[in-house]
Amino acid sequence: MTDIPSSTSSSGPSSGRSEELTIRPDVKKRAVKIYTRYERFWHWSQALLIFILAFSGFNLHGTLSLVPFPLAVMVHTYAAILLLVLWLFTTFWNFTTGQWRHYLPQNKGLFAVIKFYAYGIIMGAPHPYSKSLARKQNALQSLAYLTFMVIIGPALWLSGIAYLLYGLWETMQNSQQIFSLVAFVHTAAAFAMITFVVIHVYMTTTGKTVFHYIRTMITGYEKIELTPAEEAYLEEQQPDMLKANE
């Protein structure tokens, strides 16, 4: 654990639980680039846009009054368009690189992870899941991100696009009722999105240190268990994914 900055180690969790207590003796921990450059770009630009969208959205909803209404509308609309483009690219990326597999739900170990966050983490129990190359996320994470990607996200962009294109369907019958419904769905999904963000941000503080996960998402590298085969393969085929052994 040499890479923990001394300034944060004191606030980190006690070394009583350590992911270094490997369960299988034949696997070794290596610093591997688990988040590619695109993934990190996606993650942080999405985070920024969602913050902008949440603030501008609730500004024009009437909850906040940080900026005048028309500015909130403009900021929200432009940011929404950027986010739509980003999501379009990312969907493409996820499928062409095969990364989508990480988001498939897996029931195995879900309960263990929930149990861990419910009280294991408080009692100092080890995390029941360790990241691997084949599976970057634990069961709960997959489920959460899947919810984000197939429920909250689409609810927002579907209703958001309908909202944006009101001019195209304004002459429809009952367009006023449909418009209320669109605004309702969009606002409800926005609340869900904010709830997701709050939990998500909190979860990032539950790593080895408070900033451990955030740093991983910035640098891309994480120490994970590699089987000798994986290690050999990476050293041979994709050496840039491995950090040199310290």
Partner 1 sequence: MTDHAAFRGLGQAFRLASAAVLLTALTSISGPVIGWSKAYASPTATADKPSTEKQITGKKPGETADHSKFEILQQDFKSGPEVTKACLSCHTEAATQVHDSIHWKWEYDNEKTGQKLGKRYVINAFCGNVASNEARCTSCHAGYGWTDMRKDPPAAPEAVDCLVCHADTQYYKKFPAKAGLPITEPMDFNGKPFKVSNLIEAAQSVSLPQRDNCGACHYYGGGGDGVKHGDIDSSLNKPSKDLDVHMAADGGNMACSACHSGSGHVWPGSRYDMEAKPQARDDEGKKLPSFAMRRMNETASCESCHTDAPHQGKTLEAIKLNNHTDTVACQTCHIPEFARGGVATKMLWDWSTAGKLKDGKPFALKDDKGHPSYDSKKGDFIYEENVKPTYSWFNGQFTYVTDNDPVDTSKPVILNALGGSANDETARIWPFKLMHTKQPIDAESKKLVYMHLFGKDSDAFWKSFDWPNAIKAGQEYMGKDYSGKFEFIETRMWWPITHMVAPSDKAVQCEECHSKGGRLEGIEGVYIPGRDDMPLINWLGYGLIILTILGVAIHTIFRIATRKQRQH
- How many other CB atoms sit within 10 Å of the CB of residue 216? 20
- How many other CB atoms sit within 10 Å of the CB of residue 163? 17
Q: Which of 71, 150, 151, 232 binds partner 1 (CB under 8 A)?
A: 71
Report DSSP state, residue 137. S
Is 131 a binder of ligand HEM (CB under 6 A)? no
Interhelix angle 69-97/153-164, rounded to 10 degrees, is 130
Is 62 a binder of partner 1 (CB under 8 A)? yes
Per CB under 8 A, which of residues 214..233 are in contact with partner 1? 215, 218-219, 221
Q: What angle do CA 71, 72, 77 make, to 5 degrees?
A: 100
Is 22 a binder of partner 1 (CB under 8 A)? no
Is 113 a binder of ligand HEM (CB under 6 A)? no
One-letter amino acid for residue 188 of the chain:
A
Q: Which of 27, 29, 36, 74 binds partner 1 (CB under 8 A)?
A: 74
Do residues 5 and 12 touch, judged by C-beta distance below 8 A?
A: no
Do residues 235 and 25 touch, judged by C-beta distance below 8 A?
A: no
Per CB under 6 A, which of residues 10..69 are in contact with ligand HEM? 50, 53-54, 57-58, 60-61
Cβ distance to ligand HEM smaller for residue 41 or 117: 41
Q: Which of 133, 161, 194, 242 binds partner 1 (CB under 8 A)?
A: 194
Q: How far is it, in rounded angstroms, from Cα 173 to Cα 24? A: 65
Q: How far is it, in rounded angstroms, from Cα 143 to Cα 237? A: 32
Q: Which of 32, 160, 209, 225 binds ligand HEM (CB under 6 A)?
A: 160
Is 238 a binder of partner 1 (CB under 8 A)? no
Q: Rounded to whole angstroms, what are the CA distances from 142 to 42, 57, 102, 105, 132?
A: 17, 27, 7, 6, 14
Between 166 and 195, how does the x/- string for binding to ligand HEM read (CB under 6 A)?
-----------------x--xx--x--xx-
- Least CB distance to ligand HEM at residue 198 (A): 11
Facing residues of 28 across strands?
A: 226
Is 75 a binder of ligand HEM (CB under 6 A)? no
For residue 26, the partner it binds in ligand HEM, partner 1, none, with Cβ less than 5 to 8 A by kind, is: none
Q: How far is it, in rounded angstroms, from Cα 32 to Cα 15? A: 22
Q: Which stretch binds ligand HEM (CB under 6 A): 19-27, 73-81, 170-178, 208-216?
A: 73-81
Tokens 């408080």 belong to 122
Is 157 a binder of ligand HEM (CB under 6 A)? yes
Q: Which residues bind ligand HEM (CB under 6 A)?
A: 50, 53-54, 57-58, 60-61, 73, 76-77, 80, 83-84, 156-157, 160-161, 163-164, 183, 186-187, 190, 193-194
